Structure 1
Amino acid sequence: MGKKKEQPIDLNNIEPEEKLKYEIAEELGLLDRVAEHGWKSLTSKETGRIGGLLNKRKHKN
């Protein structure tokens, strides 16, 4: 069996929290890898960084 190809993400048609996650990935320079290989391609350190920044921004509002 081949690997499942990720569908392109429409940032205008996703939940606000999910959109913020993609924005943070872009700021960290990880969006290209996520778009090409999915979230599983990131290291635990990278996902932790995204999660930490996501949590910080959610509580800031």
Structure 2
Amino acid sequence: MKKPQKEKKEKKLTPNDILKYEIANELGLMDKINARGWKSLTAKESGRIGGLIAKANRDRVKNKNTEKDSSDIVKGIDKT
């Protein structure tokens, strides 16, 4: 006897999830993901997605810090 399949709940996407989907789409992997799921990706493909997510997060933090530093200078607060 087969077990009944569990219904998948709709997961609310986080900003990192959205970024992951965008990167997978840019790399041309969405057809594979839609057909067979995330588990069908190779280690190389998963690593590439993870690396690009990490890079985007680093860039976002760096830009946030740069904006904060430049706004402090505009206000007349020089941190040097």
TM-score range with shorter-chain normalisation?
A: 0.7 to 0.9
Determine whether 1:31 maps to 2:30: yes
**4+ residue runs of structure 1 moved beyond 6 angstroms?**
none
Of all paired residues, the percent bearing the same amino acid is: 49
Query: What letter corresponds to residue 19 of structure 1 in structure 2?
Result: I
Greater RCO, 1 or 2 (C-alpha within 8 Å, sep 6+)? 1
Give unmatched runs, 5+ long, in structure 1.
none
Q: Secondary structure at the match of 2:28?
A: coil
RMSD: 2.2
Which protein is bigger by CA-based radius of gyration? Answer: 2
Q: Secondary structure at the match of 1:35?
A: helix
* TM-score normalised by structure 1 residue count: 0.77
Query: What letter corresponds to residue 59 of structure 2 in structure 1?
Result: K
Equivalent residue pairs, number:
55
2-structure distance, mates of 1:36, 1:21: 17
